Amino acid sequence: GAGVSQSPSNKVTEKGKDVELRCDPISGHTALYWYRQSLGQGLEFLIYFQGNSAPDKSGLPSDRFSAERTGGSVSTLTIQRTQQEDSAVYLCASSPTGTSGGPPGELFFGEGSRLTVL
Amino acid sequence: SQQGEEDPQALSIQEGENATMNCSYKTSINNLQWYRQNSGRGLVHLILIRSNEREKHSGRLRVTLDTSKKSSSLLITASRAADTASYFCATAIYNFNKFYFGSGTKLNVKP
């Protein structure tokens, strides 16, 4: 597809269950980001992938959160033993590599995965 | 917040009026971007301004950047009801390839 694709668009789960959220970035984009947005709030940085480099995991809120990116393309965000405070919209964005070693430019966002933990 | 904070948190204006939103940040940046988010949807990029630029225009949008004050403003001229959305600034921190977003300004344009 032409844009960033995220699935599922909505996920309702019970407390304590594990969930996986998927992001399919724009083809050729080397940078991939995960953000979390709680209701009516701003975006909280979670993790950043750039090419084959080690990911920047500094925003992951706890060790229940993990993410991987296979083959430099599709990414999966996994939340283990979900808690009610994990309820939020999880947004994925991709970006082409920045020039001259600088930061990537425009971020292209998916529509998000809305997670509700009962 | 780690970085950008928008002001005001909410803004309500009549169609045809101008809307001004401000963003303040804390550390040196490579660039600053503004995004728009319609309710419950993903964010859409509006405009990027680099740290060595002071002003940039795109259609009805005008963005300014004052690095000495660590602040930026987004002006939407001749607003339309369709401009109703939340607007976020995102700062790309110097030497770090990640973006920090503020909590946003919720703009309501009344027809």
Q: What count of other Cβ atoms lies within 10 Å of the Cβ of residue A47?
A: 22
pLDDT, position B73: 97
- Decide: A45 and B99 in contact? Cβ < 8 Å: yes
Question: What percent of chain B has a predicted confidence (pLDDT) above 70?
Answer: 93
Q: What tens digit of pLDDT does each residue of B61-70 get?
A: 999 999 999 9
Average pLDDT for chain B: 90
Query: For residue A103, what are its two tokens?
Result: 């930061």
Identify the CA nearest to A38 among candidates A90, A108, A93, A113: A90
Strands ordered across the beta sheet of A19-24: A5-7, A19-24, A75-79, A65-69
Which residues does chain A have within 8 Å of residue B35's beta carbon, measured at their own beta carbons? 107, 109
**Span A43-58, average pLDDT:** 89
Least CB-CB distance to A105: which of B48, B88, B96?
Answer: B48
Q: What tens digit of pLDDT does each residue of B33-56 get?
A: 999 999 777 899 999 999 899 999
pLDDT, position A99: 47
Least CB-CB distance to A42: which of B42, B45, B103?
Answer: B103
Query: What phi-psi label fits residue B68: left (phi over 0), alpha (psi between -120 and 50 degrees) or beta?
Result: alpha
Give CA–CA dist B49/A35, Å, rounded.
22
Q: Is the pLDDT reported for residue A35 higher than 70?
A: yes
Beta bridge partners of B109: B13
